Amino acid sequence: MLRYIVNRLLIVVPLLLALTVLLFLYVHAVPGDPIAGMLGPNGTPELVAQIRADRGLDRPLLEQYWSWLSGLVTGDLGVSLISGQDITPIVIARIPATLQLTFAGLFFVILIGFPAGYLAGKHKGGWLDRILSPAALIGLSMPAFWVGTLLILVLGVQLRWFPTGGYVAFEDNAWQSLRLTLMPALVLGITLSPFLARMVRASTAELAHEPFIVQARTRGLLPGTISRRYLLRNAILPVVIVIGMQLGTLIGGQVIVEQLFNWPGVARLLIEGAVRRDYLLVQSLIFVIAVIYIVINLLTEVVHASLDPRVRL
Amino acid sequence: MIEIKPLISVENLTVEFPVRGSAVRAVDDVSFEVGHGEIVGLVGESASGKSTLGLSLMRMVPSPGRVRARRMEFDGRDLSALDESQLRQIRGSEISLIVQDALATMNPVTTVLEQITEVVRDHEGVRSRRVLRARAAQALRDVQLPDVEINLRRYPHELSGGMQQRVAIAQGLILGPKLIIADEPTTALDVTVQAQILSLLKQIRDGGTSIIFVTHDLATVAEICDRVLVMYAGRIVESGTVAEVFAEPQHPYTQGLLASLLPLGGDPPKRLDAISGQPPRPEAWPSGCRFHPRCPLWKSKGEPEICVNEDPQPDESRTHWAACHFAGEGVR
Ligand code: SF4
């Protein structure tokens, strides 16, 4: 297992390096000067030049890249072009909110997607399947911003059950924090669970034809034993894989949901940075997100290996 | 003389699968008996219905298949009159099924210990982990699995093919069944392991358990079976003791099967292509004698009408019989 992780990291490092080059070039190719944009009509050419020099933007590109990269290695994400603040503490401050939303979202994805897929697959062609399968198709085609707006309008504005947006740290006020998390997490759950449900349905339905399920019946096992130990335990296996596969979508959904619900997470920071053309911030954030993506992917593989004894890492 | 009732006796058993409006008979009107403590070989090519016949004895044919029988008596009970929960109690405890691919029949995510003990839990309600563990260890020792304690903790895929088959047999044996249906249990194994498993099955038979040994391989039948039923196209075409059938096969099909066997240490057979052509499919069994399109005897006799029009009936009053209009004439 350890060797596997080390091996994976050895592949990941050159990949990340390539990513930094691409990111750096891409962001710098975007037209418009962030400093001039920030200062607006007040920006005299002298002032712009001064701030540019202050942020190190007048140095050759290669030198800029090198100082950014050597910063990344030591955990220093650089300085915001706009505010001049260190980026690392800003990002760290945003991480708890993002993690809270991610895990709450995953919770709903699994809570909705797994039972729906499992039951539909177990009773394939039954009444439940005939309701759930089209429902999953509809769910798949609903964009997150639309579901989010709908929830805000109905649960927030009409019924006034939940606040329409904002964030309170869990340790400050747990109850309020959960109330605020529910709707954005539900949006992630509703929009991302149909895919999981479809995968679980397909794999559960296939299980029914597996020789070991047939053999379990010839051994006269109780129906409950067959459901729990044979169907359920094998149907869980694809869940981890699907979640690993869906990470990208999850992060994408996060960007929309954080924006919609005024959620001060990493994804929203990214949008803020992009709007202000704070390209060092954008560049560093995308890098951080890529690292998180890789770590979680690795984690899902470890979890999968621990659930399925046939997988050896 | 006291007449000893057979363990299982089946009369006019048919297994039907509905296919596009009509019913396809994979097993067609078959009757036979299996006595206590005997190994009966059920021999045939693929699609002859032999595996389906084995499953039908547990009333377990894949849906939407249907099992019908005039009589299906197992150990004094009528199998066809039992409901699903009564059948469940018989399956795995009184009748066990062992199949060719042991690995595929085991739950990949549970250990050998769990696999073996779950039948004990579900059938006998034993809950104590210590008792279950001891029972499992004993069952594995009974099938001569080495390193029992280590292997109990292993997962199925971590065992060798021979060990997997032993575990599968231990699973089938742990509740002391009266009948084991062994469907090609040695086909996937190499020769040494095959011999070990066969001798294990003989020991099980000697312990009083009856075995229906489903196979396409007459050589193994000669090695371990007491009696043999030859199946062709959903029917039993020849039945007798192993000695009788091997010494004097009466059905041209059996004769062909035997002719294609390589005699041990002797000359290679004169005609390896003893039975030419493809076995028929259940959707299109031939008329009359179902073997006639491939029957060398029929051809050598100038293709008599009777074989095409009339179904040969077995003379079941004899211990050795063949369903052939010209039984015993054979071109040997
Ligand atoms: S009945 Fe006729 S066709 Fe059938 S096996 Fe006998 S000889 Fe051949």
Q: What is the CA radius of gyration of chain B?
A: 21
Q: What is the mean pLDDT of residues B227-254?
A: 91
Minimum mean pLDDT range among A84-93, A239-248, B262-271, B281-290: B262-271
Distance, in angstroms, between A84 CA and closest chain B CA?
Answer: 55
- Asked whether the beta carbons of B61 and B49 are under 8 A apart, the reply is no
Angstrom distance (rounded) from CA A189 to CA A112 = 7
Domain boundary (B156, B176, B196) is at B176
A67 or B240: which leads in pLDDT: B240
Residue B13 shares a structural domain with residue B87: yes
Give the pLDDT confidence of A278-308 residue by residue, as tens digits: 878 888 888 888 888 888 888 888 888 888 8
Q: Pick the most confident of A70-79, B183-192, B232-241, B263-272.
A: B232-241
CB contact under 8 A, B88 and A310: no
Give, for A257, the enclosing helix (H) or strand (E). helix A237-260
Q: Distance from the CA of B91 to the center of ligand 1, in angstroms?
A: 38
Last residue in a domain, options B133, B151, B176? B176
Ligand 1 pocket residue status of B275, Cβ below 6 Å: no
Write out the residues of chain B at the interface with chain A, using a CB-CB cutoff of 8 A: 55, 58, 60, 62, 87-93, 96-97, 99, 101, 104-110, 114, 118-119, 121-123, 155, 157-158, 171-172
Is position B330 within any domain?
no
Is A212 within 8 Å of B119 when comparing Cβ atoms?
no
Best mutation site among B85, B106, B118, B157 for testing chain A: the one with the most A CBs within 10 Å? B118
Residue B107 Cα, gap to closest chain A Cα (Å)? 6
Q: Verify that B85 and B116 share a domain, yes or no.
A: no
- The answer to whether the Cβ–Cβ distance between A225 and B122 falls below 8 Å is yes
**What is the mean predicted confidence (pLDDT) over B305-325?**
86
Residues B88, A210: C-beta atoms closer than 8 Å: no
Dihedral of CA atoms A91, A93, A97, A100 in degrees, nearest 10, equals: 90
Regarding whether B121 and B52 lie in a shared domain, the answer is: no
The answer as to whether B230 is a domain residue is yes
Confidence (pLDDT) at B267: 55
Task: Answer whether residue B278 shows pLDDT above 90.
Answer: no
Q: Does B80 lie in the same domain as B34? A: yes
**Shared-domain flag, residues B294 and B181:** yes
pLDDT at A126: 84
Claim to verify: residue B18 and residue B107 sit in the same structural domain: no
User: What pLDDT band is residue B2 in, cutting at 50, 70 and 90?
Assistant: low
Mean pLDDT across A10-18:
86
User: Where is pLDDT greater, at B265 or B251?
Assistant: B251
State the closest ligand 1 atom to the C-alpha of B307, by its place in the atom list counted from 1: 2
Q: Nearest CA of chain B to the CA of A310: how many Å?
A: 7
Query: What pLDDT, on the 0 to 100 scale, is given for residue B131?
Result: 92
Mutation test of the interface with chain B: which of A123, A203, A214, A215, choosing the one with the most B Cβ atoms within 10 A? A215
Residue of B nearest to A213 (CA): B105
Q: Is residue B331 part of a domain?
A: no
pLDDT for residue B280 is more than 70: yes
**Average pLDDT, rounded, for chain B:** 86
pLDDT of residue A54: 76
Residue of chain B minimizing CA distance to A305: B109
Domain annotation covers residue B257 = yes
* Count of domains observed in chain B: 2
Considering chain A, what percentage of its residues have pLDDT values greater than 70? 99
Whether the per-residue pLDDT at B268 is higher than 70: the answer is no
Mean pLDDT of A42-64: 78
Q: Which domains does chain A have, with CATH numbers?
A: 2-87 (no CATH), 95-312 (1.10.3720.10)
CA angle (A152 as vertex; A149, A155 as ends), nearest 5: 135
The CA distance from B306 to B329, in Å, is 15
Same domain? For B162 and B113 the reply is yes
Q: Of B157, B176, B195, at which residue does a domain stop?
A: B176
Is residue B327 situated within a structural domain? no
Identify the band that residue B273 occupies on the pLDDT scale cut at 50, 70 and 90: low
Domain presence at residue B300: yes
Confidence (pLDDT) at A82: 75
Does the Cβ of B92 fall within 6 Å of ligand 1? Answer: no
Does the pLDDT value for residue B266 go beyond 70? no
Whether residue B40 is found in the same domain as residue B165:
no
- Mean pLDDT of all residues in B257-275: 61
* Residue A69 pLDDT greater than 70, yes or no: yes
pLDDT at B214: 92
Is there a single domain that holds both residue B160 and residue B208? Answer: no
The pLDDT assigned to A265 comes to 84
Mean pLDDT, residues B313-317: 81
Q: What average pLDDT does range A267-275 have in this prediction? A: 85
- ipTM score: 0.81
pLDDT of residue B272: 47
Structural domain containing residue B117 = 102-176
B47: phi > 0 → left, psi -120 to 50 → alpha, else beta; which?
left
For residue B120, is it within any domain?
Answer: yes
With a 6 Å cutoff on the Cβ, whether B324 touches ligand 1 is yes
The CATH number of the domain holding residue B258 is 3.40.50.300
**pLDDT tens per residue, range B8-40:** 999 899 998 888 878 888 888 899 999 998 999
Q: Is residue B65 part of a domain?
A: yes
Examine the domain organization and report whether B60 and B130 are in the same domain: no
pLDDT higher than 70, residue B3? no
**How many angstroms separate the alpha carbon of residue B306 from the centre of ligand 1?**
9
The residue whose two tokens read 């059948």 is B87
How confident is the model at residue B1, as a pLDDT? Answer: 46
What's the mean pLDDT in B172-183?
90
Considering the domain architecture, whether residues B185 and B167 belong to the same structural domain is answered as no
DSSP state of A30: S
Q: What is the pLDDT of residue A173?
A: 80
pLDDT above 50 for B284: yes
Total beta-carbon pairs less than 8 A apart between chain A and chain B: 77
pLDDT of residue A313: 64
pLDDT in tens, A208-235: 888 888 888 888 888 888 888 888 888 8
3-state secondary structure of A79: strand
Residues B243 and B316 in one domain: yes
pTM of the full structure:
0.78
Q: Is the pLDDT of residue A156 over 60?
A: yes
Q: How far is CA B209 from the centre of its chain?
A: 14
* pLDDT value for A91: 86
